[in-house]
C-alpha cells in the first residue's frame, strides 16, 4: 500500500512556507510500461515526485533544495512561459519546470526523467499535444545523457531501449526503428532483444499506443 503524509516546507527561493504531500512508502504490482513507467500503486504517486512553491513557482524534488543556477532558470523565457501558460498549475507543467531546473543544474539524468514524467502526466490528462512535446524533450535529453556513458554499457543499452519507446510514442518512427536496430547489433540480453524487436514492429506499423514489457514479451 501507499503511505502518505503532510508536511510544511519553506521554499529555498522565496522563503514562502507551504503544505505538501510526501510519501513514506509505496509498492507496485504488474509490469512496467516499455518506457519504465511503473505500474500501480506507485503509478498513482506521481503528485509526490516533485514539489512546487505556490508563490514563486520553483519546482524540484524538494522546494527546500536549491538546485545550481536555479535563479537563472526561473527567470528564463522558457520557465516564465510555463508560469503564464496553460500548463501552469498542472502536474505536467510542474514536471517540465523541474526538468528545466535540473537541466540548468547539469543533472541531465534528472532532467530527462522529469521530462518523461511530464509526458506521463500529460497522457493521464488526455493532453496528446503536451505528451508529444514532452517526449521530444525527453528523447533529446536522454540523447545527451548517452554521451556521458560507454555506448556498450548496460546503462547505455537501457537508456537506448527506453528511447526507442519514447520515439515511437511520439511518432518518430524512423528514428525509433534506426535506434532499435543499432542497439540490436550489440550483445543484448533476451528480454531487451524482445522489447526492441517489438518496438521495431510497432513503429513499422505506425503504432504509438502504450504497451507494457509483459505485452512485448508475450508477442514473442
Return per-residue pLDDT of the chain as tens, 220 residues. 778 779 999 999 999 999 998 877 778 789 999 999 999 999 999 999 999 999 999 999 999 999 999 999 999 999 999 999 999 999 999 999 999 999 999 999 999 999 999 999 999 999 999 999 999 999 999 999 999 988 889 999 999 999 999 999 999 999 999 999 999 999 899 999 999 999 999 999 999 999 999 999 996 4
Assigned C-alpha cell, 194? 524482445
Record the pTM.
0.95
Assigned C-alpha cell, 204? 513499422
DSSP string, 11-22: -TTT--EEEEEE
The SS3 call for residue 62 is: coil
Helices and strands in the chain, H and E counts: 9, 4
Asked if 40 contacts 29 with a C-beta cutoff of 8 angstroms, the reply is: yes
Owner of C-alpha cell 516546507: 9
Owner of C-alpha cell 498549475: 89
Q: Is the peptide bond before 41 cis (omega within 30 degrees of 0)?
A: yes
Amino acid at each position: 500500500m501507499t503511505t502518505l503524509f503532510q508536511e510544511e516546507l519553506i521554499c529555498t527561493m522565496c522563503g514562502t512556507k507551504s503544505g505538501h504531500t510526501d510519501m513514506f512508502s509505496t509498492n507496485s504490482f504488474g509490469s512496467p510500461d516499455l518506457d519504465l513507467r511503473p505500474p500501480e500503486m506507485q503509478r498513482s504517486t506521481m503528485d509526490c515526485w516533485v514539489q512546487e512553491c505556490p508563490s514563486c513557482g520553483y519546482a524540484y524534488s524538494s522546494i527546500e533544495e536549491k538546485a545550481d543556477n536555479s535563479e537563472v532558470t526561473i527567470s528564463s523565457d522558457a520557465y516564465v512561459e510555463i508560469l503564464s501558460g496553460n500548463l501552469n498549475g498542472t502536474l505536467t507543467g510542474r514536471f517540465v519546470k523541474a526538468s528545466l531546473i535540473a537541466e540548468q543544474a547539469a543533472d541531465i539524468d534528472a532532467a530527462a526523467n522529469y521530462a518523461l514524467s511530464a509526458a506521463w502526466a500529460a497522457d493521464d490528462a488526455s493532453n496528446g499535444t503536451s505528451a508529444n512535446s514532452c517526449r521530444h524533450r525527453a528523447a533529446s535529453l536522454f540523447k545527451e545523457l548517452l554521451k556521458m556513458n560507454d555506448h556498450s554499457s548496460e546503462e547505455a543499452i537501457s537508456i537506448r531501449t527506453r528511447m526507442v519507446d519514447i520515439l515511437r510514442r511520439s511518432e518518430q518512427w524512423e528514428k525509433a526503428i534506426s535506434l532499435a536496430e543499432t542497439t540490436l547489433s550489440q550483445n543484448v540480453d533476451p528480454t531487451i532483444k524482445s522489447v526492441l524487436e517489438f518496438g521495431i514492429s510497432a513503429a513499422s506499423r505506425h503504432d504509438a499506443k502504450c504497451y507494457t514489457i509483459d505485452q512485448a514479451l508475450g508477442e514473442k
